[in-house]
Amino acid sequence: MDKTVDKAADKAGKVDDRDKAAGVDDRDESGDDSSPGGGPVGLGLRFSAEPPGVVAVFRPRREHTGAPGLLHGGIAATCLDETMAALGFVLDGVHCVTATLELRYRRPVPVDGQPLRAEAWRDHAHTRRRQRVRGRLLLADGSVAVEASGIFVQVSRPPSGT
């Protein structure tokens, strides 16, 4: 079934009935669909500007598992992709999209109730339309579980009503 959100309903802060029935909401928990981290996956990420650039805490849930007891690699990738894209929004107030994303899975990530720390930073401190961003997902003990690198591109938000 197609789980699209009606644009007019979305602008009014509502999702269409098919999405409600499927449990899909296009907004983060704050109800703001313009900030990064919202969307149907519902990772519950909240971003803050702190060293090394932008940080988010992620608490994996049972539905995020791949192999028994372990975080699905695609969820780890999504968490890092969202955090890396949020860098431009949090630091510069601009939306960014992913052009490339490369990941290195260093160790398994247990889904054990422990929080994970997602970090993102850019190679160059100055703002650029197209920039290399790096990220990593840290386990509760501080060890690196996943490393990421990608190119992120600034985009303009479409005008209201389109």
From first to last of its 162 residues, what are the pLDDT tens digits of the chain? 333 223 322 333 333 343 333 333 333 333 344 445 555 457 999 999 998 899 999 999 999 999 999 999 999 999 999 999 999 999 989 999 999 999 999 999 999 999 999 999 998 877 778 999 999 999 999 999 999 999 999 997 666 665
Question: What pLDDT shows up at residue 33?
Answer: 44
- Which CATH architecture describes the domain 40-155? Roll (3.10)
Identify which of 92, 112, 102, 115 has the alpha carbon closest to the alpha carbon of residue 44. 115
Q: What's the predicted TM-score (pTM) here? A: 0.74
| Contact present, 133 and 122 (Cβ < 8 Å) | yes
Question: What pLDDT shows up at residue 37?
Answer: 52
| Contact present, 19 and 5 (Cβ < 8 Å) | yes
What are the residue boundaries of the structural domains of the chain, listed by start?
1-33, 40-155
Question: What pLDDT shows up at residue 99?
Answer: 97
